[in-house]
Structure 1
């Protein structure tokens, strides 16, 4: 049903705590995501896409294991 949409469907693994962790790190790295709240809104998706693009990653706009690992590395955590 959703395979022909021009954007990626939400990843099933994107839970609130993972999204919030990604938001906090993106914010620390200077990306504009608003207040970290665990919700996958347009600012979060845009920041993820910017981060993925800047780091040579496949652009998904989603929180996943690869993104969290790369964010953690970038933050020096």
Structure 2
């Protein structure tokens, strides 16, 4: 996948810090792909639909997914 999120936000994710260790993540690309896969599965979106999100919307939807999963919601 070489979509808009990866192309436009390469530097942002390259500087992503692991929340637990507070160190730069060497595995940012795989973490990004995991996040894209999670959104696709949880909401039933295609990779093209996810690719059209800007980084702020991408982050908001990931936060919603996390909130819903923690609240015990399940995908129907």
Q: TM-score range by the shorter chain?
A: 0.3 to 0.5
Higher relative contact order (CA 8 A, sep 6+): 1
Q: Structure 1 length normalisation: TM-score?
A: 0.44
Q: Structure 2 length normalisation: TM-score?
A: 0.44
